[in-house]
Structure 1
Amino acid sequence: MTRPPAGRPCWAPPDPDPTAPPGTEPAPPPRVRGVLDADVTVVGAGLAGLSTAYHLAEGDPSLDILVVDAEGPAAGASGRGTGLLGPRIGPPVDRALARFGPDTARRMHQASVDAVEQVVALCARLGVTASVRTGEQVVATRTADGLAALARQAAAYRELGLDVPVLSAAQIRDRLDVPYHAGLRYRAAALDPSALTVALARACAAKGVRFLGNSRLLALRPGRTAAETQLAFPGGTVRTRKAVLAVNAAAGELGLPVGTVLPLLVHAVATEPLPTAARAAFGGRGDCALIDAHALAPYFRLTADGRLVLGGGRPLLAPVVDDAGAAAVWAWLEERLRRLHPALAGVEVTHRWAGQIGMTADGLPVVGPLTGHPDVWYVGGCCGHGLAMSVAHGAHVARALTDGAPATLPWHRSRAPRLPLPRPARPLLGAALGLMGRGARKAAA
């Protein structure tokens, strides 16, 4: 296929203008209209999709690459994350060691460490450095069960020869004035995921990548030849040689054969900039984030401008039909925030939001070609740990599409385990999430 005519303008997200008056927002990307052609079409303008397009354009500038999103860049989970950039993928390291053996477990952890470093380097390359803070991420506990779990993980790290130190309660208090019993320390970072996503979109546009938005994928259809796939949208069709579906938990509604990727809504709150005493209690410089070792229990970090961001609590199975559940989760998060430290008693919560993640039954993502469609790849299911890994997955898929399949890891697969989820079973799943949420509340008490 031929590229668009030289000089053809490519839409790109403009720089944000905080002084712009309401009603003067920049024009959204154009929609899919009629029949269009592309060498590679990426569906999804989040971090995974944009990373794929970016690395494809870098690896082969001759490709005609089209990115299509249901809304626009950073409109989904990649624009709603809490900015925790840490080395985590799949199950805890002790379970990974037992399931996959030492060599694979070590490679899994190292891949997530490398992904963090790659995102920090990408931010520097794209000029997104104002909100990036390198530092530490502490996974800590205040329960007996949590201590036992962290002890198993620490033993596994030692067996694998990986440098993940154990912190005592006193060492945690040296970093953050919060009462946790012990923790594991990881080298990590924090950043504004929306700023990175938009900067990545602009970098793609500068390389000639085309953007279309407000176009939700409806279906995949056979092309005119075996080398073509047709992607159907409300306003038209894209004929493409290769496609990457970076649609995360939308896989279910599209009927993609990738196993079960559950769509869950997770919640977060953020405060006004903290006063001096409160800011000092949470590290002052903001270079240490804390994640409770119990699933769904609160996690928090300090932002570059001194706000405290706190997430966690019971996830809700999407789609959510009323706002009562979300209001309850936000209320619980605010109550937990007040109990973190006395200096937070009078601090105002200024932001509340939710974002959709994709969960799999075994905790591993899915990054691979669709069964029966070797030129159509799916990326998703990072289970809430996608900030670093989504960028890494995009680079992996770009290499696979241009140079052949690179070395693989357990999540480089075409499908996750399937969970039977007929409509009558959804209340049971909701009840299971509620039980997990009650466990998180107990751990956080």
Structure 2
Amino acid sequence: MSADTGFVNGEVSYWYREEGLPGPGPRLDGNLPADVVIVGAGYTGLWTAYYLKQADPSLDVVLLEKEFAGFGASGRNGGWLTAALAGSPERYARSHGHDAAVRLQREMITSVDEVIAACEKEGIDADIVKGGVLTVARGSAQTARLRASVTRMRSWGFEEEDLRLVEPGERLRVAGAVAGSWSPHCARVQPAKLVQGLARVVRGLGVRIFEGTPVTELAPHRAITPYGTVSAPYVIRATEGFTAGISGLRRQWLPMNSSMIVTAPLPEAFWDEVGWQGRDLLGDEAHYYMYAQRTADDRIAFGGRGKPYLYGSRIDARGHTPAQTVDALWSLLLDFFPGAATSRVEHAWSGVLGVPRDWCSTVHVDHATGLGWAGGYTGHGVTTANLAGRTLRDLILREKSELTSLPWVGRTVRRWEPEPLRWLGVHAMYGLYRAADARERTRPRTSFLARLADLITGHA
């Protein structure tokens, strides 16, 4: 790896490097009543608080956060404000019908613009550019999957203006790309600026955020911490990949690691060479996939799976990334963009995302116990969290709406297996995906190893 002398590993993420980590907010000190208490001050918790206060300013909304607002995936993600569905449309269709699954996908598309509009309204400058998303195929097997994904979207009623095939190099020149697809329904965002802006706005609306306050247990109408208990008619869990740390929830959602690197700023000659002028987000059709963006300060932020899962659902909260993962991401980046070899890696970090057993997200409120939650976004949380916040608002206020009838509302999912089966299954899945990608470099069809991996984990 070509590393900068000022290379930083972890310390939450590069997204906080320019402005620094926020200072600690007040900690909970004693028992407290509220109308709604939300556990987790990331995108889901903040959007839920925002929309509740917009709907009813008199509501007393309290947020409890173990670290600081935006410490988790909301401050570490790849900055994809994407309409990609957090889950399988086929699975939603099997349980609720074709039309319901299509409605959910269309709400995801709407949510991209909702986030952009809310940021404009509230003066949140998060470096948002709606440049769309390019997906490239590098090889025959990937091309077949890419074309199948476009065909599938057509069968669901989505047209050329939603997703279309593009020629290699039409939007962006990626080494080895033989096919591509492009959708306008995606925007680049600076994750930390978005979450810190949201935190500022909800505080201004009168929401109290208590930081440095871990919630150890959830009970009907109560969120219990070492420093006091918040009692409320509604207790909303918005902890996503950190859910396993709450008593009784270790097997609810699997905390899956994703890792990123960011380069030093690249010269204009590089951007001209690769044609990356439209600020498109970039992904691929590999099983062990990557994701990237051109940052506002002209770097490449490049991510993928590193060490995907730690035994016992443990989490490395500080985001340290193993050297071999940094090296692997840097090598893959250069494989995509050989011209970036003159640059270097300035920052690496990791974070966790929540993965349900069926890989489909859920949002739910039980009016009897007051307990509710949203999450299991499987890596698509930047946009989905906004849809979740608006849906939780309607559920808490008992308003029947288009959102409360979406097929992810009230969805029940069985828990993950106990250890060591959990660890063995996840590592077997990613081992098979890596092997499948290697085989497909010389073979025209999707490897049976990838299909086996899907069957092992229920990803299919």
TM-score bracket for this pair, using the shorter chain length: 0.7 to 0.9
Return the letter of the residue paired with 2:128: V
Q: How does 1:389-404 map to 2 (within 5 A)?
A: 389-404=384-399
The structure 2 residue matched to 1:274, chosen from 261, 266, 269, is: 266
Structure 1 CA distance for aligned equivalents of residues 150 and 407 of structure 2: 22
Return the letter of the residue paired with 2:302: L
Indicate if the aligned counterparts of 1:86 and 1:186 stay in contact, CA closer than 8 A: no
Report SS of the residue matched to 1:250: helix
The alpha-carbon deviation at position 315 of structure 1 amounts to: 4.5
Q: Which residue of 1 aligns with 2:300?
A: 308
Structure 2 CA distance for aligned equivalents of residues 411 and 391 of structure 1: 14
The structure 1 residue matched to 2:363, chosen from 367, 374, 398, is: 367
The answer on 1:288 being equivalent to 2:280 is yes
The answer on 1:127 being equivalent to 2:123 is yes
The answer on 1:83 being equivalent to 2:79 is yes
Q: Structure 2: any 5+ residue segments left out of the alignment?
A: 1-15, 443-460
The alpha-carbon deviation at position 56 of structure 1 amounts to: 0.6
Q: How does 1:236-255 map to 2 (within 5 A)?
A: 236-255=228-247
Report SS of the residue matched to 1:122: helix
Report SS of the residue matched to 1:404: coil
Q: Which residue of 1 aligns with 2:203?
A: 205
TM-score scaled by length of structure 1: 0.85
The structure 2 residue matched to 1:70, chosen from 60, 63, 66, is: 66
Q: Which moved more, 1:236-245 or 1:41-50?
A: 236-245
Return the letter of the residue paired with 1:339: D
Query: Cα distance 1:206–1:255, how it changes in 2: closer, same or farther (>3 A)?
Result: same
Return the letter of the residue paired with 1:209: V
The structure 1 residue matched to 2:226, chosen from 234, 240, 246, is: 234
Query: Cα distance 1:373–1:264, how it changes in 2: closer, same or farther (>3 A)?
Result: farther
Q: How does 1:302-341 map to 2 (within 5 A)?
A: 302-318=294-310, 319=314, 326-341=322-337
Indicate if the aligned counterparts of 1:68 and 1:213 stay in contact, CA closer than 8 A: yes
Structure 2 CA distance for aligned equivalents of residues 19 and 232 of structure 1: 33
Identity across aligned pairs (percent)? Answer: 27
Structure 2 CA distance for aligned equivalents of residues 414 and 159 of structure 1: 25
Structure 2 CA distance for aligned equivalents of residues 273 and 393 of structure 1: 35
Indicate if the aligned counterparts of 2:125 and 2:194 stay in contact, CA closer than 8 A: no
| Count of aligned pairs between the two proteins | 417
The alpha-carbon deviation at position 111 of structure 1 amounts to: 1.4
Q: Which residue of 2 aligns with 1:13?
A: none
The alpha-carbon deviation at position 172 of structure 1 amounts to: 3.6
The alpha-carbon deviation at position 128 of structure 1 amounts to: 2.6
The alpha-carbon deviation at position 298 of structure 1 amounts to: 1.8
Q: Which residue of 1 aligns with 2:103?
A: 107
Report SS of the residue matched to 2:35: strand
Indicate if the aligned counterparts of 1:40 and 1:243 stay in contact, CA closer than 8 A: yes
Q: Which moved more, 1:155-164 or 1:337-346?
A: 155-164
1:328-385 deviation per Cα after TM superposition (whole angstroms, max 9, x unaligned): 2221000111122231111111111111101123221121125x85411111100000
Q: Which residue of 2 aligns with 1:220?
A: 218
Indicate if the aligned counterparts of 2:78 and 2:291 stay in contact, CA closer than 8 A: no
Structure 1 CA distance for aligned equivalents of residues 180 and 207 of structure 2: 44
The alpha-carbon deviation at position 19 of structure 1 amounts to: 8.3
Structure 1 CA distance for aligned equivalents of residues 219 and 44 of structure 2: 23
Query: Cα distance 1:258–1:117, how it changes in 2: closer, same or farther (>3 A)?
Result: farther
Q: Which residue of 2 aligns with 1:9?
A: none
Structure 1 CA distance for aligned equivalents of residues 196 and 121 of structure 2: 14
Query: Cα distance 1:405–1:422, how it changes in 2: closer, same or farther (>3 A)?
Result: farther
TM-score scaled by length of structure 2: 0.83
Q: Which residue of 2 aligns with 1:260?
A: 252
The structure 1 residue matched to 2:143, chosen from 124, 147, 152, is: 147
> RMSD over aligned Cα, in angstroms?
2.8
The alpha-carbon deviation at position 242 of structure 1 amounts to: 1.0
